[in-house]
Structure 1
């Protein structure tokens, strides 16, 4: 179900998911968003968030002009469908066909391996009332707000990185039932949006 946040992982949720992401498009010259989502699963909200967050954070990929906006569209569509209690998350073909070169993708995912291992060591089941339904709904609303603010972030230095990190924190919070990460995601969202507003007024 789209609203299903998944069972708590036994170990290494980020490392395991990154390994699945790296399998996408192995035998092609470019990697599509659809291929990435096929490897992480399309039935729950957290993997969508995590893919959007990691791609926005990743060097060589997240720095490509337009990528934060594309990830914002991904988050908007998945967040709205979660809030509507859709059974399956639908994405348009033109978005799923967006591609990045295999070489650039491989370098970016390799760079994320060490941070992923470090993050997995910090994950714990705690404050689960902040991640279990219906607490996933305010998370979805917050992620929707982040996504709507991401296009102008492309012209405000470092704010897109803050948005990517916030999305990643919320995704890991849902995957690991770690409410502390959800709290950190809310704080980071507030700080990032404040920085965007201050730079645009």
Structure 2
């Protein structure tokens, strides 16, 4: 897929990440933004969710928190109709080894192809117009909770899954996935609150 074209599916996002980071030993957050497009709010949410779920990436201490911060900074700019996504330079330079990223993408690839077969444009009021901002606010709530999720076993995976569902919804214009994301958000936040009260 041409780099200038916005990704329209989960597989498109994975292909962009592979193609536009090829030949690098280290991949920075800035590289990821460049790979999917500087105005691609949906793909950024999707990538943050996928990397939180991916083995060898999301399991690293601090990574869910870093990805949550990326989502907060990205979606916080959505109402201002920015021409490109701005993030602080110290965050943009944060890196991960590409071989770990590649292994995570390999793990996600087969489920991605399956999910893409089930996406379509439906319930679009949840991902366009005012509904898009509601979805963004819920994504930001999940992202803000990711640091606490690192303290409760397996809850960060729930947060990553919720972000992945919201990302798919925004990329594919599929509001059904946004509804699923809302359900997982509620369940995950309940798990986090219960877990923190039990500490």
Query: Do structure 1's residue 193 and structure 2's residue 189 form an aligned pair?
Result: yes
Structure 1 runs of 4+ off > 4 angstroms?
none
Deviation at 1:175, TM superposition (A): 1.4
Query: Do structure 1's residue 96 and structure 2's residue 92 form an aligned pair?
Result: yes
Query: Do structure 1's residue 31 and structure 2's residue 3 form an aligned pair?
Result: no
**Equivalents in 2 of 1:88, 1:41: separation in Å?**
8
Normalised to the residue count of structure 2, the TM-score between the two structures is: 0.91
Deviation at 1:85, TM superposition (A): 4.0
Residue segments in structure 2 that go unaligned for 5+ positions in a row = none
Deviation at 1:24, TM superposition (A): 3.7
Deviation at 1:87, TM superposition (A): 3.8
The count of corresponding residues between Structure 1 and Structure 2 is: 193
* Residue in structure 2 matched with residue 3 of structure 1 by the alignment: none
List per-residue Cα deviations over 1:76-116 (Å, max 9, x = no partner): 11121113444432101111111111221211111111011
Give 3-state SS (helix, strand or coil) of 1:78's partner.
Answer: helix
In structure 2, relative to structure 1, the CA distance for the partners of 1:8 and 1:104 (3 Å cut) is closer
| 1:138-149 correspondence runs (5 A) | 138-149=134-145
- Is contact 2:45–2:167 with CA below 8 Å preserved after alignment? yes
- Is contact 1:24–1:31 with CA below 8 Å preserved after alignment? no
Query: Do structure 1's residue 134 and structure 2's residue 127 form an aligned pair?
Result: no
- Is contact 1:8–1:177 with CA below 8 Å preserved after alignment? no
Normalised to the residue count of structure 1, the TM-score between the two structures is: 0.90
| 1:64-83 correspondence runs (5 A) | 64-83=60-79
Residue segments in structure 1 that go unaligned for 5+ positions in a row = 1-5
